[in-house]
Chain A
Amino acid sequence: MPRPEQRMVTFSIDGLEVTAPENAMLVDAAKYGDVEIPVFCYEPKLGAPVGACRMCLVEIEGIPKLQTGCSTPVKDGMVVHTQTDRVKQAQEAIVEFLLINHPLDCPVCDKGGECPLQDISFGWGGGRSRFIEPKRHFQKPLALSPLVAIDRERCILCYRCVRFSQEIAEDYQLVLEERGAHTYVSTFDGHPYVAPFSGNIVELCPVGALTSQPYRFRARPWDIEGSGSVCTLCPAQCNVTFTVRDERVLRVLGRDNVEVDDGWLCDKGRFAYQAVHVDERVTQPLIRDGGELREVSWERALSEAAAALRRANGRVGAIAGGETTNEEGFLLQRLMREGLGSGDLDSRPGGTLALDLHRALGAPDLQATVADLEFAHSVLVLDCEPVDDMPIVDLRIRKGVRRRHVKLAVATSRPSSLDPNASATARFAPGAGEAFVMALSAALGGGDVAGPAQAAGADAAEIRALGRSLQAGDDVVILYGEQLVSGPRGEHAARALLDLARRLELTSGREGAGLLCVPAGTNGRGLTEAGVLPNAGPGLADVEQSGRDTAAIAAAASAGELTALYLMHCDPLVDLPGRDAWAGALERATTVVAHAAFLTDGVREHANVVFPAESYAEKEGTLTHPDGRVQRLRPAIGHPGATRSEWSVIADLARRLDLDLGVLTGAMASAQLFAAVPFYAGLTLEAIGGKGVRWQEREAAATFPAAEPEAADGAEPPSAADANGRLRLGTFRSIWNATEVRVSPALRFLHPKLRLEISPADAQRLELFQGDHVVVGSDGHTVDATVTLRETMPEGSVFLETNALDGPLVEVRRA
């Protein structure tokens, strides 16, 4: 769908001739003439205006009554007055009305100093009240949820929070109870408002009615500084502002970037900053001494690590986790390839793909952006769950469907929270994405649907219906999970996906359409492009000899072919599939060097040297968003304890291994990266700035290596395993399943137990009930889990939280 074009019109406001976009609301248009019209309820992010607070009344010539500036679109030649006596009287009246029941407890209110009600009262109010009767009283403060406190006396009933819940997050939890002056915001049955995006209402609230429980009474606006950076807790890479007081992060606010996050944050991004300052964090270098990890000096840790890596004599494997920056990844691959002489490194949990596939999937012509999700004709969500994998994109998809009537198709193994918004949905067996994509291609191209559909364990009619909602020639965005193109059949799936893209005519560089990958790790795309792949150097360049990928590194380490492992922000036992294989690999390896912020299982049990990792609030460097936007991390606080910049740790380590990486500052590392990746050429940190730069939109993008991968061979995909009395196993990782969530005091209550999602029909057959403890077993391995019934779960499939078990089939029995 073409984006709406903007036409400029000229209108008059307070005697000034102002040019503004046609149909912009007057409050926005007025800003073009530096005229401010005060508002409370108006917030364009929330959709259509409601005109509830009446603060923005203005006089328009030719209209007898005062009009709300928030809901009146500007027209050519309109004559608007915001300073007349009539308008002033109305503004003073509204402020007086709003304050009669407001407690005016600004001295003890968290919002004091950054409060629109204060500002507008001073700017547009009459300065006195004639109200002498008793004010409205409520019990206060109450916990709206463990994260948000509500003070109903301060509430001015602007409707913002309720609109957010109903129209943005669509969790439909917040409602207004009672009416008139007795109205109050609540959940309809008093249940805590717990939802993935609930924290946004704190930021939306124009008064101190909704406050963050973790931030309450921690600081006043004049104590704090704001520091812009990027959240690295998931691939969405939302732009944030850290609120810093005395070298501590006390709060995270959204930093609106319409191309990335549309101004929203998830609760993980908003509250998991607490993990920066918890006692569990590793802030000193550690080495294993007599079986225990012991704090040592950097000198000691670096020389131990260097000596051990030297002893490995090239038999080193390295894994970079998703939170690794481009610079760290780039230097790591230099250390590995140039310093240690090993090409065994990977950043993809599911292993690498053939290089031409990386190049084809990453090609600029095929790349869709986050904003395209909102303006496309159709969006296909394929084998990913946005709310868990890249939460903020979930809101973007909902927005597109709600406001721009984007047709949404959802094709996943696990039921999606977007299903109710979709015009077509299809389910396939866990891990059968390849067969499903082939079936969908066939449905579009008139081929045999039934065969591959059966192999995918999917319903052919569903796939045909899904195919009808995707029209070749339309703007279609395919949002797919990295897991689709991972694993042993990953390459086949990738070829099938490219085939699908060709059928939908997405490969010809169509604007506003294409593929968008949800990587497994935050900086999955950046690490790929920085060269943290066994078969590609920086810029997806050819390498002389391919090394081992993730799974092969585990296997080689288990077999003793690799003796040292270098783990950068990655604990294989927590983050990677194949937990058992990795347990063996870590056990067998002579040396395990880890950059870690927390001593998670694998690090605690197996690391010989632990370098303290920086938190994202301390890091500098760049990340690359899944749509190619290179974004900049800026340090908001100093390093705690002995923590140091990790690029310098790698550089120091390299020096001890007789390799001079030539980086003395973080900026030098960035410059080296930009010089080494041809399609980043010419980028500077200044150019990236606060909003980032999509490399595809720069001239250097032409240097992206072209690829013509072979088309899919058309061979029958392997069938999804026949359940035969057992259950097909899929895994997922919920938004709350993160170390940062577990260690953050405010979020800990959300950290999930090991859950097994099962359909009611299967549960009935197995005589299981919600909350039952069960043993889930596959090939002799078992884990304990708790049953969660999901009505929409297809019969025969179960989903286990985390990577604790590998499928394809499991047995479930009561513990």
Chain B
Amino acid sequence: MTKTLLLKGIDEPDLHTLEVYERGGGYQALRKALGMSREEVLHELEVSAIRGRGGAGFAMGKKISFLPKGQMDKYLVCNADESEPGTFKDRELLQKNPHMLIEGMLIAAYAGGITRAFIYIRGEYALQADRLEAALEEAKAAGYVGERVLGSDLSLTMWVHRGAGAYICGEETALLDSLEGKRGNPRLKPPFPANQGLYQGPTLINNVETLATAPTIIRMGGAEYAKLGTTGSTGTKLVSISGHVQRPGNYEIELGIPSREIIYGLAGGPPEGRSVKLWFPGGSSAPVLTGDDLDIPYDFDSLAKAGTMLGSGAIIVVDDSTPVVDVALKVAKFYRHESCGKCTPCREGTNWTVKMLERIDSGEATPMDLDIMAAVCTNIIGNCLCVLGDAMAMPIGSMIVKFRPEFEAHIEAARARNELATTEEAPPEALIQGAVA
């Protein structure tokens, strides 16, 4: 059930300092890796079969192996723009154990023959960025980051870059544009970052948790690490549980345990007398599951088979005290606000969906609007430039399918309420320049 690799000793005072980190065996994995050849390190990462912890679940070792070989400027970018609603696992790692990330990045850079690294951290993580910058300075002073690390042939320069507050900048190509100083809009793929990423150079982009796991893999050995979890989902995973549970927080679990054990076992389940109505298994972008789905094993493949995804490993639990329309509206508004506006289906579809949900909530809708909303979600899915549009359409679409009777009841109740109302508030004056809804 729980197994602590990443969160081991996480609450030790001052673990974020080099001294405490080294005392607990910090940077030993780096020394071990530097004693191996680059190919051996890459091999260990590949054998570990660790899948990316940011959301897409792509095998990390394979990603590194896509980088072109040979001498050139290659980049490593750590995606620390943790913005997915319900996700706060990276925050804990960044805040409490930044050196583990730096060590992991050094190992990944060594495996990929990379010489320049960036950590793109979301602007709201001010404390975490401060800690990270301080840790980076310590690591530089100690000779872990810089020219010829520990006398090896690894040379790595590393920067911490703070984002300016946009969810879309967590999308890897938008992140690269933002890092280059442009408007954070996703790029067309292909070319993929491994070929043409940052400044048109080959680029490896990984999530904080993925990179922070690298020292563990090197320490244990890839094969040993792969024994944890299931065949398709090896290792442990940090899970952020929030919503209607008694003990919200970050938990490290071995992949493949039943979801019930996480929600009820670790997080204590919903408050007394309530039951799980729906839950997002992997952040607000994941199609929702219901209380009937609690026995699905929590791993990449089982969740995909259930029509949803593990995503960033953020479980949001909603109990029966909350109307599903409220959840849908909250989710849709978030994605409308964060849509970059570059591609048509996402820009217009998220906006339209919010407007329809608002009508449902204000009693101006009919059940036919549910069909339109479902069709709009279908029209978004798969037709967008990046996955942000899908990230709204998938959960909303799944809610309409799984909770249609409740939506219909909501429409009727709101309409009845609306008809009783005698006065109507005037809409706000249109603002010039900026658009008004």
A and B co-occur in one complex: yes
- A592: Cβ under 8 A from any B Cβ: no
State in angstroms the CA–CA spacing of A68 and B385 once bound together.
9
- Check B382 against A66 for contact (C-beta < 8 Å): yes
* Smallest beta-carbon distance A184→chain B, Å: 7
Q: Are A134 and B340 in contact (CB under 8 A)?
A: no
Whether B344 contacts A94 by the Cβ 8 Å rule is yes
Interface assignment of B5: CB less than 8 Å from any CB of chain A: no
A87 to chain B, nearest CB (A): 11
Q: What 0/1 pattern do residues 338 to 362 of B give for CB contact below 8 A with A?
A: 1111111101111110011001000
Q: How far is the CB of B406 from chain A (nearest CB, A)?
A: 23
A244, B351: Cα distance in complex, Å? 42
In Å, the complex CA distance between A71 and B186 comes to: 15
**Residues on the A chain within 8 Å of B347, using CB:** 97, 157, 180-181, 183
Q: How far is the CB of B330 from chain A (nearest CB, A)?
A: 16
Contact between A130 and B372, CB atoms less than 8 A apart = yes
User: What is the distance, in angstroms, from A140's C-beta to the closest C-beta of chain B?
Assistant: 10
B432 within 8 A of A: yes
CA distance A533 to B212 in the complex (A): 78
CA distance A701 to B311 in the complex (A): 69
The tally of CB-CB contacts under 8 A between chains A and B is 109
Given contacts A66-B382, A90-B379, A90-B383, A182 and B341 within 8 Å (CB-CB): yes
Q: Is A9 an interface residue (CB 8 A)?
A: no
In the assembled complex, the Cα of A54 lies from the Cα of B385 at a distance in Å of 8
B336 at the interface (CB under 8 A from A): yes
Chain B minimum-CB-distance residue to A48: B188
Q: Are A52 and B342 in contact (CB under 8 A)?
A: yes
Contact across chains for B348 and A98 when beta carbons are under 8 A apart: yes
User: Shortest beta-carbon distance, A396 to chain B, in Å?
Assistant: 23
Interchain CB contact (< 8 A) of B343 among A51, A133, A139, A181: A51
Nearest A-chain residue to B372, judged by Cβ: A130
Interface size class of A (residues with CB under 8 A): 35 or more
Q: Which residues of B contact A90 (CB under 8 A)?
A: 379, 383
Decide: A139 and B433 in contact? CB cutoff 8 A: yes
Contact B343 A180 (CB under 8 A): no
Q: A180-B336, A180-B341 are in contact. Are A97 and B379 (CB under 8 A)?
A: yes
Within 403-459 of A, Cβ neighbours of B (below 8 Å) are at none
Whether A100 lies near B352 (C-beta < 8 A) is yes
Q: Is B420 an interface residue (CB 8 A)?
A: no
Within 8 Å by CB of A180, from B340, B355, B356, B436, lies: B340
Contact of B344 among A52, A134, A139 (CB under 8 A): A52
A127 to chain B, nearest CB (A): 15
Please judge, given known A-B contacts A51-B188, A180-B351, whether A137 and B342 are in contact too, CB under 8 Å.
no
How close is B413's CB to chain A, nearest CB, in angstroms?
Answer: 21
| B435 lies within 8 A of A53 (CB) | no
B430 sits at the interface (CB 8 A): yes
State A184–B339 Cα separation when bound (angstroms): 14
The CB with the most chain B CB atoms within 10 A, among A96, A133, A137, A181, is that of: A181
Asked if residues B344 and A54 are in contact (CB atoms below 8 Å), the reply is yes
B150 is an interface residue with CB less than 8 A from chain A: no
Q: Are B435 and A179 in contact (CB under 8 A)?
A: no
A51–B345 CB distance below 8 A: no
The yes or no answer to B149 lying at the interface (CB within 8 A) is no
Q: Which of A72-105 contact B (CB under 8 A)?
A: 89-90, 93-94, 96-98, 100-101
Known A51-B188, A89-B379, A180-B337; judge A159-B342 contact (CB<8 A).
yes
Decide: B348 and A181 in contact? CB cutoff 8 A. Answer: yes
A65 lies within 8 A of B342 (CB) = no
Q: Bound state CA distance, A139 and B436, in angstroms? A: 11
- A623-B359 Cα distance, complex, nearest whole Å: 65
Q: Return chain B residues, CB-CB under 8 Å to A152.
A: 435
Q: Which one of A55, A96, A136 lies within 8 Å of B435 (CB-CB)?
A: A136
A97, B341: Cβ atoms under 8 Å?
Answer: no
Cβ B352 vs Cβ A94 within 8 A: no
Supposing A178-B435, A180-B337 touch, asked if A53 and B344 sit within 8 A by C-beta, the answer is yes
B42 in the interface (beta carbon within 8 A)? no
Task: Evaluate contact between A97 and B344: CB separation under 8 angstroms.
Answer: yes
Q: In the complex, A262 Cα to B347 Cα: how many Å?
A: 33
Which residues of chain B have C-beta atoms less than 8 A from A66's C-beta? 382-383
**A-side contacts of B379, CB under 8 Å:** 89-90, 93, 96-97
Is A217 an interface residue when CB atoms closer than 8 A count as contact? no
A137 touches B435 (CB 8 A): yes
Contact of B183 with A by CB under 8 A: yes
Nearest-neighbor residue (CB-CB) of A70 within chain B: B188
Most chain A Cβ neighbours within 10 Å, of B168, B188, B343: B343
> Would you give the shortest CB distance from A288 to chain B, in whole angstroms?
57
Is the C-beta of B166 less than 8 angstroms from some C-beta in chain A?
yes
In whole angstroms, what is the CA distance A183 to B352 when docked?
15
Q: Write out the residue numbers on chain B whose beta carbons fall within 8 Å of the beta carbon of A610.
A: none
CA distance A57 to B381 in the complex (A): 13
Once the chains bind, are A134 and B437 in contact (CB under 8 Å)? yes
B371 and chain A: residue at smallest CB distance: A130
Which residue from B168, B343, B384, B434 sits with its C-beta under 8 Å from A178? B434
Known: A90-B379, A137-B435, A179-B340. A97 touches B188 (CB 8 A): no
In the bound complex, residues from chain B placing their C-beta under 8 Å from that of A89 are 379
A100 to chain B: which residues have CB within 8 Å?
348, 352
Q: B188 contacts which chain A residues (CB < 8 A)?
A: 49-51, 68, 71
The answer to whether the Cβ of A32 comes within 8 Å of any Cβ in the partner chain is no
- Inter-chain contacts of A122 with B (CB < 8 A): none
Q: How far is the CA of A71 from the CA of B337 in the complex (A)?
A: 28
In the complex, the answer to whether B436 meets A51 with C-beta atoms within 8 Å is no
Chain A nearest Cβ from B170, distance in angstroms: 14
CB of B383 within 8 A of CB of A54, answer: yes
Which residue of A53, A131, A134, A182 is within 8 Å of B434 (Cβ)? A182
Whether the pair A176, B341 counts as a contact (CB closer than 8 A) is yes
Given A52-B343, A180-B347: A57 in contact with B435 (beta carbons within 8 A): no
Q: Within 8 Å CB of B359, what residues of A?
A: 133
A136: chain B residues at CB < 8 Å are 435-437
> In the complex the two chains form, what is the Cα distance from A65 to B190 in whole Å?
14
Question: Is A156's CB within 8 Å of the partner chain B?
Answer: yes
Question: What chain B residues lie within 8 Å of A749 (beta carbons)?
Answer: none
Question: Shortest beta-carbon distance, B273 to chain A, in Å?
Answer: 39
The contact string, 1 if C-beta is below 8 Å from chain B, for chain A 751-765, is 000000000000000
Q: Are A138 and B341 in contact (CB under 8 A)?
A: no
Chain B residues in 8 Å Cβ range of A134:
437
A181 B339 Cβ-Cβ under 8 A: yes
Contact status B384-A54, CB under 8 Å: yes
Q: How far, in angstroms, from A115 to B78 measured CA to CA in the complex?
A: 45
Query: Nearest Cβ in chain B — how far from A185, in angstroms?
Result: 11
| Bound Cα distance A100, B345 (Å) | 11
Chain B contacts for A52, CB-based, 8 A: 342-344, 385
Q: How far is the CA of A133 from the CA of B336 in the complex (A)?
A: 16
Among B342, B372, B382, B432, max chain A CB count under 10 A is at B342
Question: Which residues of B sit under 8 angstroms from A133, Cβ to Cβ?
Answer: 352, 355-356, 359
Which of B118-157 touch A at CB < 8 Å?
Answer: none
Contact with A along B188-207 (1 / 0, CB 8 A): 10000000000000000000
The reply to whether A182 and B435 form a contact with Cβ atoms under 8 Å apart is: yes
Specify which chain A residues have a CB less than 8 angstroms from the CB of B432 in the assembled complex: 139
CB neighbours (8 Å) of A65 from chain B are: 382
How would residues 580 to 593 of chain A score, 1 for a CB under 8 Å from any chain B CB and 0 otherwise? Answer: 00000000000000
Closest CB in chain B relative to A158 CB, distance in Å: 9
Q: Which residues of chain B have C-beta atoms less than 8 A from A181's C-beta?
A: 336, 339, 341, 347-348, 350-351, 435
Q: Which of A166-209 contact B (CB under 8 A)?
A: 175-176, 178-184
For A68, the chain B residues whose CB sits under 8 A away are 188
A131 CB contacts on chain B under 8 angstroms: 352
Q: A130-B375, A137-B430 are in contact. List 17 more A-B contacts (CB 8 A).
A: A50-B188, A51-B343, A54-B345, A54-B384, A89-B379, A90-B379, A93-B345, A94-B345, A100-B352, A101-B348, A101-B351, A139-B433, A180-B339, A180-B347, A181-B336, A181-B341, A181-B350
5 CB-based A-B contacts, threshold 8 Å: A52-B343, A97-B348, A137-B430, A181-B351, A182-B435
4 shortest A-B CB distances, which residue pairs? A93-B379, A183-B341, A181-B351, A180-B339
